Structure 1
Amino acid sequence: MNVLYLTDLIGTGVFAISGTLAALHRRKDLDVLTLFLFAFVTAVGGGTLRDVIMQASPVVWISDGTYLIVILGSTLLAIACRRWWLGVLQRPLLLFDTLGIGIFTILGLEKALHQGVNPWAAVLLGVVSALFGGVIRDTLANEVPLVFERHLYATPCLTGAILYVLALPLGLNPTGLFLGAVGVITGFRLLALRKGWALPPIRT
């Protein structure tokens, strides 16, 4: 099992937990199947859109059933541990969502580069991979997507992705570079939440 594949499964699991917790946070009467669907669209929505844009076939979760097993397992784990997470972590949804966008931004960027996409388009596809699963999740839940909140959300993803692309020619250790870029995104996002950072709005 190569590192990229394992990282993709880990990111899928993290986003599936995020989707399940988001659904549980907003509705108290959902069944397991509905929670699985929320986890599913959160985990693979952005990556599916990326692959469709790149015309990459087949979409990974269609060709590899392991992804669906991971999503189901993560959904059940989130349900089983929901009270523990809510008791230990102040905002578990934001934590898992932030970890997910960090992993999937760089993972999506890497997959785009492997498909021969130019680096700057790959940056945008990495951001699409990270954000659009959450957009679909929040839309289904009849909530304003996190990307439209004032707190920085897309900006950390773009920052980490651009730094990653700029550092690629330096010949750094690939694993260290990947983890460093993910760390930049997650750290930037968490700091923005803590400090209330936001870009200035455009007034009309």
Structure 2
Amino acid sequence: MKLFEDRISSAVARVRIALALKGVEVESVPISILGAQPRSRSADYLAVNPQGLVPALLTDDGVLITQSLAIVEFLDERFPEPALLPADPDERALARSVALSIASDIHPLLPPRVTKRLGTIPGADSMTVREWNRHWIQEGLTAIEALLSRQPERLFALGDAPSVADIVLFPQAVNAERVGFSLAVWPRIASVISTLRTIPAFAANAPVPRSADASIE
């Protein structure tokens, strides 16, 4: 299998964490998403993935899977152990809820194509973009903190083993720290992230740092 990726992307980090937890190796195909002419917008990559986004997974059967959560669930079905969705239906739904709260409600407001467009609005500057990013991260993680606080406290977000909730939460929390937040603001999240940092699959696959004025993917 081939993984089209840019290691700065938190969406890519989700897939890499899932692969590491499963012990599955793939061929990495670097696709830059930043810069004046990112490879993600090149004709050759658009011929592979018309969305021009990362990650994308090309299976050994020639099937292209886009969107990080679709890839994670494919991996969970293709390689069942360890399971990335809780067995209990309620906890499984809650894990998906946390993951989607980030992937659908926080992340779409932050990627380079969004903040690049934001920067073209008259009167906008780098500070405007930074505050835009911080606003949506703070609002989103505050809501997730409240959701997690309703559940019994455990080592992980929703259970006694890492799930898709942790896989999506970890990269977003790392990026929150990189734009100046202290996770202490969200004690439940901070506790979960502290645990995840001790697990090599998470620690080794955090999104890599980018320049201070770059947007969050």
The structure whose residues are more often strand, as a share, is: 2
Q: Which structure ranks higher in relative contact order (CA pairs < 8 Å, sequence separation ≥ 6)?
A: 2
Instruction: Name whichever structure is richer in helix by fraction.
Output: 1
Task: State the TM-score, normalizing by the size of structure 1.
Answer: 0.34
